[in-house]
A and B are shown apart, each in its own frame.
Chain A
Amino acid sequence: MTRLTEFRQASRAWLQANCPESQRLPIVKREQIWGGRRRIFPSADAQVWFERMRDKGWTAPEWPTAYGGGGLSAAEAGILTQEMTALGCRPPLYEIGVWMFGPALLEYGTETQRQEHLPPIVRGEIRWCQGYSEPSAGSDLVSLKTRAEDKGDHFLVNGTKIWTTQADKADWIFCLVRTDPYAPKQAGISFLLIDMATAGVSTTPIPLISGESEFCQTFFDDVRVPKGNLVGELHGGWNVAKALLRHERKLMSIMGTMVEKEEGNIIDLARQYVGLDAEEKLRNPLLRHQLAQHLMRAQCDSLTTERIQQQYKHGQPDNNLPLIMKYLSTTEQQSKDELMLAIMGNRGLSWDDATYTENERKLVRNWAYNKAHTIAGGTSEIQLNIIAKRALGLPS
């Protein structure tokens, strides 16, 4: 038996023994486990599940054990994910620090910074948010204006960030700030860590079309930030920013596995709402074809992820292939959402009216919420720009 097979069997047995039944049910948004100073576990089972995973370091499976992580190789972590998916285990922790910030800090942080910030993330004690976008710097991120002035023993930060997901609940923010306003745009940016509890930091939630308000505008008024909170070189923040964005895009392409899903698969829902004719075909031939097309494409999307992994395993990686995944999976998700609404007809038009079922309301919420996926983490158009330049070598 190979080492990986052993690992698979051991982790399967462990998960079976340690993941509470309730944590293997389909994901429900209000039961997601988030960390932070003000964390509240959605249930006792959720807390048990989180703590058991935390103690194995499997809230951040690939991070070194020295920082509280699981110390798994990429192959082992892949197996762990497969086994968790097979058992239906919910993610033990939803945390931007795990997904994006930590990996970038491992690459660019000093040893002191890693020691300070990584273990609290693994333990779900500190919740992070991302301060990149600004009102006038979205896709054109390098035009950001939030200013950090060098005041000798500290930076003085002034400016505003927008679309900061969960900023009102986060404890710390990693920010791109302008430290040299005279240098060419990219060369004047630094990567700074700011404790949200510092005087002068404030947040205002922004209501969204999904009826929620997950983002905030974040304001910095004369915020004093210690020099030691600079990650990477002074004015060298753009490199850190790009490394982190790669992790963000990877996350966005697997987002579908981490969000709340409708109950029952789409075929059953179509049978239920559209009805079947005497030959057991959906009564609406156009929807029937659209559904077939969607299922075909969705299957190919997940198989493409598998193909990328197989290429790595066989030592024949195609580095351009991962570039298409964010675009493909987010657009496919949205066409599924539109199809879902079409299938439900007038039953797919409310998210709060009590005469609609919980599942109907959930599907409508998801439809509205998922509109964000082709915008967040670099819009679809920006993804196409990247594909055209990097994969296809088209000229500027």
Chain B
Amino acid sequence: MNMVLNEEQVLLRDTMKAFLQEHADVSAMRTLRDTKDPIGYSLPLWQQLTELGVGAIVMPEAYGGLGFGFLGLGAVMQEMGRTLTATPLLSSVILGASAIELAGSARQRQALLPAIAAGKLTLTLAVDEASHHAPLATRLALRETPNGLRLNGTKVFVLDGHVADKFVVVARSAGDAGDSHGLTLVLVEATSPGVTISRTTMIDGRNSAELHFENTPVNIDDLVGAQHSAWPIIEKVIDRGTICLAAEMLGGAHELFARTLAYLKEREQFDVKIGSFQALQHRCALLYCQLEQCQTAVQSALGSLDSEASDIALQASIAKALVNDCYQLVSNEAIQLHGGMGITDELDIGLFLKRARVCLQLLGDTSYHLDRYATRLNF
């Protein structure tokens, strides 16, 4: 499994790093939060980023894609994790567009993918329904009625759901909650009849939404892939999202760690740098070991997406489970090692801490992924 970036990918990463530092450093996130920005991300910035090609990194080349692969996309996600940059990259380009790319009809792909890549259209995946990520537990119903197909039910924690143009909704068309058979992907316009959208503001200053569907009509052309049998596609889509999210989280964890190390080399107590205390040195060395182990997990998972390996699902769960624990630990240690400064809003540490907690829940917490991994290995 290739885990190392090639020259073009290194160039892409360095370009993005420079761009983000100039146009979207952590203070940009702070401003979005403080002004309670109604969108939750900067539209002009997203426009600039899509002009730079961020929306097309992994798109198939037939739809304007650039072919940098998931290792390239992962490198960009890591940089965005370092700067806490809010964009619809995950919701629209990775989750939404992947569903269309992997299961959509030629017409859907043609109509949607280039527009998504260009940032002209925002799509998002609506999957969760309860307090924890559990895609198989989907209940939101897609039913045949005398007047055609209708959607009824609720989705929560829908990323950028309050501003998306369309939703890819995971719906149950047959069977019971828990069954892998009977799931269907449905494309729904945000403006469709019977759709109510309420924005949820979360601790990380970004947005998700709760969606209610009441007898929302669904056209047969708006099914994405075949009815009842969407589960393998859903897993693939979510695996992509999970791996890219793990990359973003790892970037955040690296940044926090770097800031903490810098503080340890600068802050003095008892007439010495606090970084000379062995108790703190060992904690940092342990964090470094975990960060590098996670880097391996993430690079390997990204590489497995690029080579379409057979164990992508396992790799996705490894990456998310390990990075969840690592980001949680690094964010807690970062606060502790900054002392009182760590709990002030003046420092950015808290912003990372809160983003970490949102990401931990997004697309599966650690116990979800441990369970999934064990189940796939039959134990």
Contact = CB atoms under 8 A, between A and B. Distances in A.
Contact of B374 (A291, A303, A324, A395): A291
B296 A388 contact: no
A41 B19 CA distance: 65
Given A328-B289, A384-B286, A393 B373 contact: no
A324 B284 contact: no
B297 A300 contact: yes
Contact of B293 (A270, A281, A300, A383): A300
A392 B3 contact: no
Q: Chain A at the B interface: mostly helix, strand, loop or mixed?
A: helix
Interface stretch (A26-34, A246-254, A308-316, A355-363): A308-316
Interface string B259-278: 00100110000001101101
B318 A300 contact: yes
B341 interface: no
B4 interface: yes
B197 interface: no
Interface string A345-372: 0000000000000000000000000000
Interface residues of A, number: 44
A280 B375 CA distance: 8
Contacts of B322: 296-297, 300
Given A295-B377, A387-B285, A324 B292 contact: yes
Contact of B292 (A280, A288, A321, A389): A321
A385 interface: yes
B364 to A, nearest CB: 13
Contacts of A393: 261, 265
A295 B321 CA distance: 12
A267 B284 CA distance: 33
Contact of B285 (A280, A321, A384): A384
B284 A392 contact: yes
Contacts of B299: 307
Interface in A376-396: 381, 383-385, 387-389, 391-396
Interface in B46-85: none
Contacts of A306: 1, 3
Contacts of A389: 281
Given A300-B297, A395-B276, A288 B281 contact: no
Given A381-B282, A395-B275, A303 B296 contact: yes
A296 B373 contact: yes
Nearest to A280: B378
Contacts of A388: 278, 281-282, 284-285
Contacts of A316: 4-5
A293 B370 contact: yes
Contact of B370 (A289, A387, A396): A289
A303 B370 CA distance: 19
Nearest to B280: A394
Nearest to A327: B289
Interface string A266-303: 01001100001000111000001101110111011101
B321 A394 contact: no
A186 interface: no
Interface in B1-48: 1-6
Given A388-B281, A388-B285, A392-B285, A301 B276 contact: no
B370 A267 contact: no
B293 A328 contact: yes
B288 interface: yes
A299 B4 contact: no
Contacts of B3: 303, 306-307, 310
Nearest to B317: A296
Contacts of B300: 300, 303, 307
Contacts of A113: none
Point out which of A276, A303, A314 has the most chain B C-beta atoms below 10 A from its C-beta.
Answer: A303
A327 B294 CA distance: 15
A304 B289 CA distance: 11
A313 B2 CA distance: 11
Given A292-B370, A387-B288, 16 more contacts: A280-B378, A288-B370, A289-B371, A291-B374, A295-B377, A297-B322, A304-B292, A304-B296, A307-B296, A307-B300, A310-B2, A385-B278, A385-B281, A393-B261, A394-B280, A396-B276
10 contacts: A276-B379, A288-B370, A291-B379, A295-B373, A304-B293, A310-B3, A384-B285, A394-B261, A394-B280, A394-B284
